[in-house]
Amino acid sequence: MIEQGTPKIAPEIIWRFMDDSAVVISPAGGNVRVLNGMGTIIWKMLAQEENTQSIHQYLVTHYEVSPEQAQQDLRTFLNDLTERGLLVW
């Protein structure tokens, strides 16, 4: 199960959208992350403060992915962003 709630982009994070990707920078850690197309869509939804349920539903509706696979992939992605200090819950 995906953690319920609305993760927020950490306040100090800088990001820019470039074509079909997003560049995410953590000034404190000096980390730069380039997100692929799917990651960029999720990031845009996070920037609009969408909750995890609506992001999950969007992925299932717009991509050929099972609800279980979307849940697993979304959880992995959000956990990675959280561990890198890019998201707060």
| pLDDT at residue 30, rounded to an integer | 82
Phi-psi region of 62 (alpha: psi -120 to 50; beta: other; left: phi over 0): alpha
In this structure, are residues 86 and 7 in contact, taking their beta carbons and an 8 Å threshold? Answer: no
Q: Given a cut of 90, is residue 13 above it in pLDDT?
A: yes
Residue with tokens 């996070």: 46
| pLDDT at residue 1, rounded to an integer | 56
pLDDT tens digit sequence for 30-53:
889 999 999 999 999 999 999 999
pLDDT tens digit sequence for 49-76:
999 999 999 999 999 999 999 999 999 9
| pLDDT at residue 2, rounded to an integer | 64
Residue ranges per structural domain of the chain: 8-84
**Rounded distance, CA 32 to CA 13, Å?**
10
| pLDDT at residue 29, rounded to an integer | 78
Q: How many other C-beta atoms are found inside a 10 Å radius of the C-beta of residue 87?
A: 19
